[in-house]
Structures are given as structure tokens and as C-alpha cells.
Amino acid sequence: MCPLRDPWKRDGSRGKLVCRYGEAKLGIAFQTRQQDGLDTEVIRRGCVGTMGDLATFLPLLLTLGRQWRLEAAKELILLADGAAWIWSLAATHFPRAIQILDFWHLTEHLWKVARAMHGSATEAAEAWVKQAQWDLKHDLTCSFLMGLREWQPESEEAREVKRVELAYFAANEERMRYGTFLKRGYMIGSGVMESGCRQLAGQRLDQAGMHWREETADAVLAIRAHRRSTGASPLTHYA
């Protein structure tokens, strides 16, 4: 997120000062080095970013895909945080990509359930999360979902947590086959993306006392994405 300031003049001729946050949309294609069939490190990356809406972001992302020849990759993996618009975009424009729900975003949702079940900062909540993580890393997704469905919350707040989180996990069931993904050597965490968010946007656009005009922030983000990119490769298999 980037702190923005709408057009304004000190003399008040353009109305009151309006400050707000805008969302930076970022995409990264990257190639990994492999050892013994496992991804070990990122060796090349290409980045795009904008403060604009999806209509602005999509052409940038598709251009990045063409530059990196993602259509020719033997395997194409799409890691994301679970936002529905991202999966919709992937299904439309990268239909053969294997979709993986980022494990650490998943864990945030596990903690929401654990706190509703066992209270905040309790050993029982921590134990439940660890067991759920183990189950999911061993492809026991059906068992995990069954246990969540059988949970009978006592409070209205907990029942709402169950409704929302169960829908989230069920919608992403195929993207949570972490045991299979790990056996194939795939990354299950979007650390590259999270690092990109910090380096491209957070470290430059979201510092104390900053407010940006949207077009200026957009230009700075584009420059940083270009400088962070290390070149395209036909071997790329992540987006």
C-alpha cells in the first residue's frame, strides 16, 4: 500500500487536502536453479508494477509473460495469496499454470480458525495450527476440511469465522496439495513476491511522512520494477 495525496494547493483553491492509501499491483516472473529436482534459488527475475487498476496492470503482466515466453515453459507455476481476481486472471490468461496458494498466507487463515477455536496466544491454538500444517504438507486436505466442518463453534463470532474460512479453504482445495507440490520440487511460499513488494514498493513509497501523487508513485514504481529485473529467459517456469 502507498500513501497518496489527491491534487491540492496550500491556498485551498483546489479544496481540502485528501490523503488515502492506494494499492500497488506487482507481478514477478522468475526462473529458479534446481538441484536434485528441487528449486533452490532465484537466478533471474522480471518485474512489473503499477498503482493503476486491474485494467492497467493486466497488459503489463501479459507483456511480461510474452517477454519471458511463459507459453513455452515446460512447467508453469502460479503462486498467489488467494485473492479471487488473481485466480480468475490466471485461468483466463495462463490456463495451463499449476496454481498454488502461498503457504504463509494460508497459515494466516489457519491462525484465524485456531484463535476462534482455542483463544489467542494459547498452546492449544499453536498445536492446532502445527497439526493443520502437517496435514496439508502430507496431502491430508480432505481430513483437514472434514475436521473443520465437524467443528461446532459456540459463539456467533466463531460461527462466522468458520463460515468464512471454510469457504476459503474449500475454494482453494486443489491449490493446497502441498505434499504433491513439495515432492515435485515446487516452491509453496511466495517469498520472492513478498520480497518484491518490500523492495519495489514498501522501501521507497511507504516511508514516514510520505504522500505521493498517484502518477508520481506510478512512475517511481515502474522505474524500480525495471531496475529490479535481471532479464528474460525462455526457461522461466514461475509467475
pLDDT in tens, 15-29: 677 788 888 888 888
pLDDT tens track for 181-230: 999 888 898 766 777 777 777 778 777 877 888 888 888 888 888 888 88
d(CA 36, CA 6): 52
Number of structural domains (the chain) is 2
- For residue 85, the model assigns a pLDDT of 86
Q: Is residue 183 part of a domain?
A: no
d(CA 114, CA 121): 9
Shared domain check, 136 and 52: no
User: Where does the pLDDT of residue 233 fall: very low under 50, low under 70, confident under 90, or very high at 90 and above?
Assistant: very low
Shared domain check, 95 and 7: yes
Q: Is residue 142 part of a domain?
A: yes
- Strand-pairing partners, residue 98, are 77
Shared domain check, 115 and 85: no
Q: Is residue 236 part of a domain?
A: no
Shared domain check, 200 and 97: yes
pLDDT tens track for 92-144: 988 889 999 999 999 999 999 999 999 988 999 999 999 999 999 999 999 99
Shared domain check, 140 and 121: yes
Q: Is residue 233 part of a domain?
A: no
Shared domain check, 63 and 165: no
Shared domain check, 97 and 108: no
Shared domain check, 98 and 112: no
Is 50 exceeded by the pLDDT of residue 157? Answer: yes
Shared domain check, 163 and 98: no
Shared domain check, 197 and 91: yes
Q: Which residues of 190-208 are buried (b: 16+ CB within 10 A; e: fewer)?
A: bebbeebbebbbeebbbee
- In which domain, by residue range, is 33 found? 2-102+189-228
Mean pLDDT of the chain: 84
Q: CB neighbours (10 Å) of residue 67?
A: 16
Shared domain check, 67 and 127: no
Q: Is residue 43 part of a domain?
A: yes
Q: Is residue 41 part of a domain?
A: yes
- For residue 159, the model assigns a pLDDT of 95
